[in-house]
Amino acid sequence: MTDTKLKLMTMALGSLMLSIFLLVLSTNSVLAAANPYLIRGISVDETATSIPQAKKIAVQNGQRRAFNTLLRRLVPNSYDGELPVLDDDTLTSMVTSYRVANERTAAQRYLADLSFEFSRADIRSLLRNWNLPFSEAAGKPLLILPVYDDGNRRFLWEEPNPWRTQWVDVIDYNIRPQEPEAVKDYWSQELMQPVIVPAGDFTDVKTINVEEAISLDKAALTEIEKIYGASGTAVVRASFREDRDGSLILDISRQRSDRFRSSVIESYKGSDDPDLLMQSAIFDLLEKMQEEWKSENIIDFSIENTVAVTTSVSDLQSWLSIQEKVRNLPSVSGTRVKDLSVSQAFWHITFLGDIQQLSASLAQENLRLVDNDGYWTLNQTP
């Protein structure tokens, strides 16, 4: 690997690695993205001349941190330097609700974990006025297959696989960075592109082996994706080596089953503790996955289209379910049923962006949009 491919993890990375410890939250927090405008787990600790004053300061600071976290969640990282800074009164007007958990007081000190829900309409309007691209789409889970290469053998389910162990710790046991504050707030949120590490049980071992994973065997990957309800699989291979100065380097390559492109190869250094180095690399990879997801699902308000589709109707409940899934898509601005019979519905879907983006969003909801020479059908995926 050339030096140009070597990603040097500097002081910020070192700080991130040293600050990671086991924080047990809900194990569902990474597995299922929910309301993108709800920011949870903002831990506040303020001291003032009185407890009410400390609480007021804590809520204001927590609100500001939640807003900054929300923007980082929705807007691509490349626009970090262009994000709006608002005064407290304006921010308060955009908050539809906030909740308090683990509230404690002592003398003139106030501590709590705060959650803020922001108005979707207000945030959308703000970002549009600032000409900032953003995505609020939540994806189906992405499956992670961590392959470890010790130089002699490659491991997936077999032990020892320290690379898989670290993924399990991060995804299933919720190891999180605790500082700096902005990083802690960001990683307290659910991922918009959720990820799953397979359990590694007998069914998984029987379904796919390490060689099939590395070669992106279509049949094996399709089968394990069905087991976990995943939209795709990322095969992430890791190995260690020493740099010329004796420091530890972690080399990682990753490929996606749902994307036809060559492996992405990256290298990490900054700690001689293998576990910390792997943990920090995992957070970097997860953030890259979130950025890739955002870039693919940017809402383009400059383009609005309407597509006429026909949907097969087997029963009322399934038809209502399809309608609800479509209407809840962030890019869909309206639907209108033109004709409805006992066997099919003919309706219009008005949406932002292009038809490929709409099709991809529908696929996340197990809905298949098909162009039959200009005659569009939309039905549940078999």
For CA atoms 169, 170, 172, 173, give the dihedral sign: positive
**Is the per-residue pLDDT at 199 higher than 60?**
yes
Nearest to 332 by CA among 355, 310, 311, 366: 355
Distance, first Cα to last Cα, the chain = 44
Options 2.40.50, 1.10.3470, 3.30.420, 3.30.70; CATH for 304-380 is 3.30.70
Q: Which pair of structure tokens corresponds to residue 216?
A: 């992106």
Nearest to 320 by CA among 299, 347, 292, 290: 347
Check if CATH label 3.10.28 holds for domain 35-129.
yes
Domain boundaries, the chain: 35-129, 142-296, 304-380
Query: Contact, 189 vs 69, CB < 8 A?
Result: yes
> Considering the chain, what is the average pLDDT of its residues?
89
pLDDT band at residue 11 under the 50/70/90 scheme: very low
Q: What amino acid is encoded at 39 in this protein?
A: I
Q: What angle do CA 369, 371, 374 make, to 5 degrees?
A: 135
Lookup result for tokens 């962006």: 353
For 88-135, write each residue's pLDDT tens digit.
999 999 999 999 999 999 989 999 999 999 999 999 999 999 999 999
What's the pLDDT score for residue 6? 43
For 327-354, write each residue's pLDDT tens digit.
999 889 999 999 999 999 999 999 998 8
CATH number for region 142-296: 3.40.50
What's the pLDDT score for residue 34? 62
**Is the per-residue pLDDT at 20 higher than 90?**
no
**Is the per-residue pLDDT at 217 higher than 70?**
yes
Residues 6 or more apart in contact with residue 97 via CB below 8 angstroms: 116, 117
**Is the per-residue pLDDT at 275 higher than 90?**
yes
What's the pLDDT score for residue 301? 85
Residues paired with 172 in a beta bridge: none
Beta strands 367-372 and 375-380, pairing class: antiparallel
**Is the per-residue pLDDT at 21 higher than 50?**
no
